[in-house]
Amino acid sequence: MAPAKLPTADLPVVDAVVVAAMDEEVAPYTRRGTAIGPAVEAGGAWARPVAVDGVRLYLVRSGIGLVNAAAAATAALGRVRPAALLSTGSAGGLAAGVQVGDVVVGDRYTYASADATAFGYALGQVPGMPVDYPAAGALLAAARRARPPAGTLRVGGMVSGDSFVTATTVADVRSRFPDALSTDMETTALAQVARSYAVPFLSVRGISDLCGPAAGEDFHLGVDQAAERAAAVVLAVLAG
């Protein structure tokens, strides 16, 4: 399916549409904002222009979940013309070795709950869509050079679904997606929207909790702190 064409005439140009689910996850960007425009509210989401040291953002608080994220991102792409779309905020650590406080940069994105294998599709693949969605090469390369203010930067797969992964369900998700570093409830939907509109995409998430912590592991960090670490990497990527 060919990417849709955005209605670009007379739309403001921005460096990126940045989407997060919760107020705590957009707060690091508004705190740094050197110019903040009025918010537009629709469908439970809000969006506003925010400039951070010359980087022009269209900041979106989408609400939690795949549908909320996709709807808010699509609406944003009808209001501005971005050079990139980024997913930001917090996530659950999935793979062994991922620690609370790390920052995960996704190099590919898959749906955790999509299963049409009975019809010959790969696990995680929505019929008619790719198996997964790769990160934009230039954004990923810039992210690899970034340094979070704390924790380790890790690059790898991300999965997203509408179910919160807990200690009782993590084994199944790990067995189905053994290469995934983290899980959240928005990223892959945003990656699909970005692909549909031919907009470069990247997701950067701070690990706020571990889906299945081992004995003795720290298992929680405030969403605001995890989001702050992710935002530092996002802004470093966009600053070039």
For every residue of the chain, DSSP letters joined together read -PPPPP--TTPPEESEEEEESSHHHHHHHHHH-SEE---EEETTEEEEEEEETTEEEEEEE--SSHHHHHHHHHHHHTT-EES-EEEEEEEEE-STT--TT-EEEEEEEEESS---GGGTPPTTPPTTS-S-EEPPHHHHHHHHH---SSS-EEEEEEEE-SS---TTTHHHHHHH-TTEEEEESSHHHHHHHHHHTT--EEEEEEEEEESSPPTT---B--HHHHHHHHHHHHHHHHH-
CB-based burial label for 149 (10 Å; 0-12, 13-18, 19+) = exposed
Residue among 102, 184, 186, 209 flagged as catalytic = 209
> Quick check: is 209 catalytic?
yes
Question: Of the listed 15, 25, 186, 228, which one is catalytic?
Answer: 25
Asked about 162 being catalytic, the answer comes back as no
Look at the block and give the residue holding tokens 């067995």.
175
Q: Do 4 and 193 meet the contact criterion of CB atoms below 8 Å apart?
A: no
Q: Looking at the annotation, which residues are catalytic?
A: 25, 209
